[in-house]
A and B are shown apart, each in its own frame.
Chain A
Amino acid sequence: MKAPPFAYVRAASLDEVFRLWGEAGPEARLLAGGQTLLASLAFRLSDPGILIDITRVADLAGISQVGNAIRVGALTTHADLGASDLLRRHVPLIAETVPLIAHPAIRNRGTIGGSLAFADPAAELPACCVALDATIMARSAAGERRIPAAQFFTGLYATALAQNELIAAIELPVARPSERSTILELARRSGDYAMAGVAAHAQLDNGALGELRLVFFGVGETPVLAKGAMAAIEGKPATPETIAVAQTALDADLDPPADLHGSAEMKRHLARVLLVRALRTIAGSEEAKAA
């Protein structure tokens, strides 16, 4: 199916984006990588009237170190995330995540800003950002504001962005030497959205896991910070006993919807399995490989 007719304008600067957006009205959509927007338009599920192409806005591009964080421009493609030495060195979870996202041709166009703004609950990057305690740099005509990733995802495909506000960049904290992280997902086929996944991040101190963040995806309306499971392990080593307590606590953290791949109970089960595997991986225990 072909997309419904729409107008197209290309913005050269952020000022122009906000001016065009203001003129175009609330139906207008921003076009970044277009990897979800154009597919959904091909279903004629929405009729935006006008697309504002932001891909040539220089202020939204680039990866740089800013103090204790890596600032990633919203237009950074998944491929560029994967190719970045800065990220590989300082935010290894991102490099680990990129190969899980779709397929090479899509990674060459899809952007991190687009992924976060679209807020698919099964997507990897939103979960990573929450796990890493990233900061979303939101920008509107009124200026920039910082939104912690954990507060950014407000509901199914819904974010804390205000009307006519966009993501300018994402700030990812530089990893400390004690940091351990991993992302695991269960997808029917390589590159598919996961049936269930987890991004895990902690400081490993003498075998104990501190500042633990476990973020599940594909099992709720947003990336889910598993606070109960995190509390069960926090400050402790990952042992069969602590993991069992965390698994029990996880049930209260999640309220997964059923989908084609499984019932809510199936998703809970997969989340419990992923919890064990993620904890063993970041705790570096020997069982990790066997799990």
Chain B
Amino acid sequence: MSAIPDIAVSLTVNGERVSRRIEARRHLIDFLRLDLGLMGSHTGCEHGVCGACTVRVDGRIVRGCLVLAASLDGSQVETIEGVSDSGEIVDLQEAFIARNACQCGYCTSGMLMTAADLLKANPRPTREEIREHISGNYCRCTGYHAIVDAVETVAAKRNGRAGP
């Protein structure tokens, strides 16, 4: 297997150009964590089921464990570190803290990326729509109610209304 050549990739991660030579089998989350030291995206199952690894590729949320880094040459990747630094989801983050919608924090990066995705596509989601959109993101701690509350509050605030 030493005969298998590494793959050269150049992509933009959180606005920074990065180039690496990597094993073809390396998925995006391992690439972010092991090659770039961005530890905010977590692997929970590596089978695409738990949603902990949700990041954005070219503006769309994806399961990072089900995307090969080698296939992303030229792509734009955004992680929780990027959207934190840009301030893009600061209101969601504040709401998660205020509502205790984050307990152990392991699912939180993926949950926030998914919540942000929802509010971009649907600024006025019902509680059912919030639940449905995050239904692929597993959280063992909260029971989801607080997360739904936090997302609902942010939607209301962005729409100029008081939260529930």
Contacts and interface: CB of A to CB of B under 8 A. Distances in A.
Nearest to B2: A5
B135 interface: yes
A42 B5 contact: no
Nearest to A102: B136
Contact of B63 (A3, A4, A41, A106): A106
A236 B139 CA distance: 49
Contacts of B140: none
B65 A42 contact: yes
Interface residues of A, number: 32
A34 B114 contact: no
B135 A189 contact: yes
Interface in A14-61: 31, 34-35, 38-39, 41-43, 51, 53, 55
Of B4, B47, B54, B62, most buried by chain A (CB within 10 Å of CB) is: B62
A6 B24 contact: yes
A1 interface: yes
Given A8-B7, A102-B136, A189-B135, A38 B62 contact: no
Contacts, number: 91
Of A2, A55, A103, most buried by chain B (CB within 10 Å of CB) is: A103
Nearest to B46: A42
Nearest to A2: B25
Contacts of A41: 25
Contacts of A79: 60
B48 A35 contact: yes
A260 B48 CA distance: 20
A51 B24 contact: yes
B154 interface: no
Contacts of B46: 1-2, 42
Interface of B: 1, 4-5, 7, 23-25, 27, 30, 46-48, 51, 54, 60-63, 65-68, 70-71, 73, 114, 117-118, 132-133, 135-137
